[in-house]
Structure 1
Amino acid sequence: MILQTVNRFNGAKPSEISEKTGIPRPSVYRLLETLAEMGLVTRDHFSNKWRPTLHVKSLSSGFRDEDWVCDIAVPHMIDLGRRVLWPIDLVTFRNYHVEVRESTHQISPYSVNHGMVGKQMPVLETSAGRAILAFMPDDERESLLALLSEVTGQRPPFIMVDGSLDIILKRVREMGVGFRMADFTPETGSISAPIWYEDRVFACVTLIWSTNSIKFARAVELYREDLLETAARISHDLVGALNKGEIARLRPIG
């Protein structure tokens, strides 16, 4: 019952759990500690809420390769988020969309969008989607664009609010990061650095900022290198975990 409550509300304080379940608070604390020892919950020291860990997903048939990436990526995301204060997302490609798999929105003092985990977003208009497309092999990118055209109804040549997709992807390769200025969600901008696995982009780590607080060029100047370094560390740790046998070989995006 406690695990269901924590999972249902994506985190709750012991007092809240006690209120919702009717279990005395001392018992709630003891049971939470037991669940933590099993690796099923963890305490968020920023909010004092207990949250489900990714290991909870291993109890269901929905467990996916990307969950391993989340485990490895989250510590680096938190470290970057504490330095820059803006929220950081881990994004993967799934079902013709990009999907937020993990996020530091809940601990960022500057977050403008909460509840991002699980949110699906369009590929062509997002910084992560553009990073994934830009660094794909040419033949795979053409195949994916053809599928996206069928699914979305958009037809080539793809002309976005901020220009031609071909020119955008060329700039992404030059910058090393995908970018979104303000067209998809006007209140925010973002840049996304690729996480590499066996010469393929397996996921992206995305930094989001308020466009009312900072301009695009300044955000790139301030955060691009730090974001790329964070993505490189995640890529390095992902390969290390694979070589140590801690994770199974992963399937590439596509």
Structure 2
Amino acid sequence: MDSDQELKSLKRGLKAVTLINLKGSLTISELSKALDVPRTTAERVLGTLLAEGFVDRDPQTKRFFLTARVRALSHGFGDESWIAHVAAPILFETTRAIGWPLCIATPVGECMSLRITSDPATSLRLHRRHIGSEIAMSVVSSGIVHLAFLEPEQRRILLEVLAESTDPLQIYAREPDRVLFAIEQARLNGYSFGLDHGRERSVSVPIFARGHITAVLLMVFMAAGLSNERVAAEFVPRLKDMAREIERLAFAAERGTAAT
């Protein structure tokens, strides 16, 4: 392979890594379209990244994810790439085992924003969420968990902001007793079902980094298929274990660096 061809291949590989980081996961066909190259070329690019350990492939959905090895390329760079690199494979593997979709959400203003979802790994006919979708913080389980584990002063200020919001979906923020009770229960139990009791529900647990809440892990389920009591008994312990594993894989190196 001459130097020009090697440079072209390197550029395609870097673009592939960038696209997977942005999207969370990609198929060969999606990468082929995004790079405007033949499918065989996209397959070679992903095959090389797979062989070098920078991506992994879900055997059922055929989607490619970045692995933790990519983090070594940007050691010390403080962003949220761990969501795609560390959390995504864990979420998809667990969804294949339990059947219910899992997501990670982070706060954006008055809302919780979806950062990644394992919806593609389930055949259940649930409302399909998409990366970047937002929902009122005072309603959803992820929002209640985020509020619950903030520092007290941060929580107080944010609750005041939510209570004054013009967003009609922040209705519960104007019922302080109800929200504060949900927050208290979330802190006590380490999880929350939120205040939205529709047909589709969610349960959330916190993910911490350096002692502070950095994101929320949630499972979406159908109320007709699972009761809250069953979810709390059978699934919440697993979600908590997943959150601790994500913390270990994503932030253990940072803790070790801080200690030196």
TM-score w.r.t. length of structure 1: 0.74
> Unpaired segments of 5 or more residues in structure 2?
1-11, 71-76
How far residue 182 of structure 1 moved from its aligned partner, in angstroms, is: 4.3
Counterpart position of 1:11:
26
Counterpart position of 2:246:
234
> Unpaired segments of 5 or more residues in structure 1?
57-62, 249-254
How far residue 55 of structure 1 moved from its aligned partner, in angstroms, is: 11
Matched, 1:219 2:231: yes
How far residue 191 of structure 1 moved from its aligned partner, in angstroms, is: 0.9
How far residue 218 of structure 1 moved from its aligned partner, in angstroms, is: 1.8
Matched, 1:108 2:122: yes
Alignment RMSD (CA, Å)? 3.8
Counterpart position of 1:198:
210
User: SS of the counterpart of 2:127?
Assistant: coil
How far residue 81 of structure 1 moved from its aligned partner, in angstroms, is: 2.1
User: SS of the counterpart of 2:103?
Assistant: strand
Question: Residue 72 and residue 35 in structure 1: after superposition, are their counterparts in 2 closer, same or farther (change >3 A)?
Answer: closer
Counterpart position of 1:132:
146
Matched, 1:168 2:182: yes
Q: Contact (CA 8 Å) 1:101, 1:118: kept in 2 or not? A: yes
| Higher mean C-alpha displacement, 196-205 vs 107-116 | 107-116
Q: Contact (CA 8 Å) 2:103, 2:219: kept in 1 or not? A: yes
Paired letter, 1:235? E
Q: Contact (CA 8 Å) 1:105, 1:111: kept in 2 or not? A: no
Paired letter, 1:241? A
Question: Residue 181 and residue 55 in structure 1: after superposition, are their counterparts in 2 closer, same or farther (change >3 A)?
Answer: farther
Question: Residue 225 and residue 91 in structure 1: after superposition, are their counterparts in 2 closer, same or farther (change >3 A)?
Answer: same
Paired letter, 1:167? F
Paired-residue identity, %: 22
Cα offsets for 1:31-87 (capped at 9, x unmatched)? 43346568886543212245688999xxxxxx9722234422223323432332211
User: SS of the counterpart of 1:180?
Assistant: coil
1 CA distance for matches of 2:89 and 2:19?
Answer: 25
How far residue 177 of structure 1 moved from its aligned partner, in angstroms, is: 0.4
Counterpart position of 1:159:
175
| Higher mean C-alpha displacement, 121-130 vs 214-223 | 214-223
Cα offsets for 1:93-131 (capped at 9, x unmatched)? 122211111111110233613242211111011111100
Q: Give the total of aligned pairs.
A: 238
Counterpart position of 1:59:
none
Q: Contact (CA 8 Å) 1:182, 1:211: kept in 2 or not? A: no
How far residue 171 of structure 1 moved from its aligned partner, in angstroms, is: 1.6
Question: Residue 233 and residue 194 in structure 1: after superposition, are their counterparts in 2 closer, same or farther (change >3 A)?
Answer: same
Paired letter, 1:158? R
Q: Contact (CA 8 Å) 2:65, 2:84: kept in 1 or not? A: no
Question: Residue 82 and residue 241 in structure 1: after superposition, are their counterparts in 2 closer, same or farther (change >3 A)?
Answer: farther
How far residue 226 of structure 1 moved from its aligned partner, in angstroms, is: 1.2
Q: Contact (CA 8 Å) 2:26, 2:63: kept in 1 or not? A: yes
Counterpart position of 2:161:
147
2 CA distance for matches of 1:243 and 1:116?
Answer: 32
